[in-house]
Structure 1
Amino acid sequence: MKARQIITHLAVLLLLVTPQARAAAPADGDNLATLAYLCPALQLADGDITLHPEQSNLDGGLQDLLALNMSLADIAWAAQFKASPHGATPVGATEQQQKPDPGTPEQIAAWKIAKATVDNSANFKNVLAKYGYTPENASQLMPLKGVIAQYAEAAFDIQEAEKTKVPTGHTDDQLKTLIKTAVYGHNGGYDVSKKAELGFPDSENREAACTAQSNSNPVKTIAGMVACLCTVKDNMAPAKAPCGPYGGEDFKWGTTTPPGNALWKKMRFSCPEEPKKPVTAMRIQNALTAAKLAFQAGGSDLYVGKYDGTGCDGSTNTACIKYTGQATNSVPIFTKAEWLDKLQTVQSELQQRLLAEQSKSQVIRQIETLKQLVKAATKHAEKLTPPTTQHQSDPKLATANDKNSQAQKTADCSKLEKAECKPDVGCKYNETTKKCEEDPKSHVVQANKEATGGATNSEGKK
Structure 2
Amino acid sequence: MSRQSTQRAVAAALTLLLGSVEAAQDANAKEHSILCRLLSVAAIEPEPKTLSPDASALVATLEELNFSNSDANWTSNFDFAAMTAKPDELPQKFRKAPYPPMWTTMWPKWYAAGKRAGEAKVGTARNSDYPAINDGRQKKQAHSQISALLDRALSLKSKIDNLKGADGTFGMTTVRSHLQAAAYGKPEANKPTTPDGIHALANWDSACGKSNVGKSLASDMMCLCHGTGVTPQDCGLTVTAVQWNAAKTIDEPWNPLKTSCPCGKPGELTDAVVEAAVTDFTRALKETSTGGEKVLHFGDNSGTGCNGADTKLCIDYSDFFKKGGDSGVSKIKWAAELRLAAGLAKQTETRLQQAQTLALLVEALSEEAKSVYTAAAQNRLVPPAEAEHQADASRHRDQTQGITGEKKQEITCQEENNKDKSNSKAGCKYNDKDRKCEEDPAKATATAAPNTNSTGDNSFLINKAPLWLAFLLL
Runs of 4+ in 1 over 6 A off after TM superposition: 80-84, 126-131, 168-174, 275-282
TM-superposed CA distance for 1:377, in Å, is: 4.9
**Structure 1 residue matching 2:93: 3-state secondary structure:** coil
Q: Which residue number in structure 2 is paired with residue 352 of structure 1?
A: 347
TM-superposed CA distance for 1:292, in Å, is: 5.2
TM-superposed CA distance for 1:174, in Å, is: 6.6
Q: Which residue number in structure 2 is paired with residue 75 of structure 1?
A: 72
Q: Distance in 1 between matches of 2:226 and 2:109?
A: 60
Q: Which residue number in structure 1 is paired with residue 356 of structure 2?
A: 361
- Residues 251, 156 of structure 1: alpha-carbon distance in 2 compared, 3 angstrom cutoff: same
The equivalent position to 1:254 in structure 2, one of 244, 253, 272, is 244
Q: Which residue number in structure 1 is paired with residue 213 of structure 2?
A: 218
Q: Which residue number in structure 2 is paired with residue 180 of structure 1?
A: 180
TM-superposed CA distance for 1:166, in Å, is: 4.9
TM-superposed CA distance for 1:217, in Å, is: 1.1
Q: Which residue number in structure 1 is paired with residue 154 of structure 2?
A: 156
Q: Distance in 2 between matches of 1:131 and 1:31?
A: 71
Q: Distance in 2 between matches of 1:146 and 1:70?
A: 11
Q: Which residue number in structure 1 is paired with residue 36 of structure 2?
A: 39
- Gaps spanning 5+ residues in structure 1: where? 1-23, 387-462
Instruction: Report whether the alignment pairs 1:327 with 2:328.
Output: no
**Structure 2 residue matching 1:226: 3-state secondary structure:** helix
- Residues 148, 59 of structure 1: alpha-carbon distance in 2 compared, 3 angstrom cutoff: same
- Residues 338, 82 of structure 1: alpha-carbon distance in 2 compared, 3 angstrom cutoff: farther
Contact 1:303 1:321 in 2 (8 A): yes
TM-score w.r.t. the length of structure 2 is 0.57
Instruction: Report whether the alignment pairs 1:234 with 2:229.
Output: yes
Q: Deviations over 1:175-229 (max 9, x none)?
A: 64553343223543336xx465542425224x675343xxx61222111111122
Q: Which has the higher contact order (CA 8 A, sep 6+)?
A: 1
Contact 1:25 1:317 in 2 (8 A): no
TM-superposed CA distance for 1:266, in Å, is: 4.1
The equivalent position to 1:244 in structure 2, one of 225, 228, 236, is 236
Instruction: Report whether the alignment pairs 1:63 with 2:60.
Output: yes
Q: Deviations over 1:118-177 (max 9, x none)?
A: 3xx32445999886234xx45477264444334323322222244445557998767645
Q: Deviations over 1:292-323 (max 9, x none)?
A: 55555544433223544733345452532114
Contact 2:29 2:235 in 1 (8 A): yes
- Residues 200, 152 of structure 1: alpha-carbon distance in 2 compared, 3 angstrom cutoff: closer
CA RMSD of aligned residues (A): 4.6
**Structure 2 residue matching 1:199: 3-state secondary structure:** coil
Contact 1:167 1:352 in 2 (8 A): no
Contact 1:35 1:243 in 2 (8 A): yes
Contact 1:253 1:259 in 2 (8 A): no
Which of the two has higher C-alpha Rg? 2
- More helix by percentage: 2
Number of residue pairs aligned between Structure 1 and Structure 2? 343
User: Which residue identity lines up with residue 63 of structure 1 in the other structure?
Assistant: A
- Residues 287, 359 of structure 1: alpha-carbon distance in 2 compared, 3 angstrom cutoff: farther
**Structure 1 residue matching 2:96: 3-state secondary structure:** helix
Q: Deviations over 1:276-300 (max 9, x none)?
A: 9676777666655655555555444
Q: What's the % identity of the aligned pairs?
A: 18
TM-superposed CA distance for 1:64, in Å, is: 0.9
Q: Distance in 2 between matches of 1:222 and 1:75?
A: 65
Contact 1:67 1:127 in 2 (8 A): no
Contact 1:300 1:324 in 2 (8 A): yes
**Structure 2 residue matching 1:27: 3-state secondary structure:** helix
Contact 2:153 2:365 in 1 (8 A): yes
User: Which residue identity lines up with residue 353 of structure 1 in the other structure?
Assistant: T
Q: Which residue number in structure 1 is paired with residue 116 of structure 2?
A: 117
- Residues 232, 52 of structure 1: alpha-carbon distance in 2 compared, 3 angstrom cutoff: same
Contact 2:121 2:127 in 1 (8 A): no
Contact 1:52 1:279 in 2 (8 A): no
User: Which residue identity lines up with residue 112 of structure 2 in the other structure?
Assistant: I
TM-superposed CA distance for 1:378, in Å, is: 4.5
User: Which residue identity lines up with residue 363 of structure 2 in the other structure?
Assistant: E
The equivalent position to 2:334 in structure 1, one of 312, 322, 339, is 339
Q: Distance in 2 between matches of 1:88 and 1:154?
A: 25
Contact 1:220 1:336 in 2 (8 A): no
Q: Deviations over 1:258-289 (max 9, x none)?
A: 69736644435552355996767776666556
**Structure 2 residue matching 1:59: 3-state secondary structure:** helix
Q: Distance in 1 between matches of 2:201 and 2:358?
A: 55
TM-superposed CA distance for 1:42, in Å, is: 1.6
Instruction: Report matched runs for 1:247-286 at 5 Å.
Output: 250-257=240-247, 261=251, 264-268=254-258, 271-272=261-262
Contact 1:131 1:375 in 2 (8 A): no
Instruction: Report whether the alignment pairs 1:303 with 2:303.
Output: no
Q: Distance in 1 between matches of 2:318 and 2:267?
A: 37
Instruction: Report whether the alignment pairs 1:93 with 2:91.
Output: no
**Structure 2 residue matching 1:302: 3-state secondary structure:** strand
TM-superposed CA distance for 1:347, in Å, is: 3.9
User: Which residue identity lines up with residue 304 of structure 1 in the other structure?
Assistant: F
User: Which residue identity lines up with residue 370 of structure 1 in the other structure?
Assistant: L
- Residues 132, 184 of structure 1: alpha-carbon distance in 2 compared, 3 angstrom cutoff: same
Contact 1:180 1:188 in 2 (8 A): yes
**Structure 2 residue matching 1:188: 3-state secondary structure:** coil
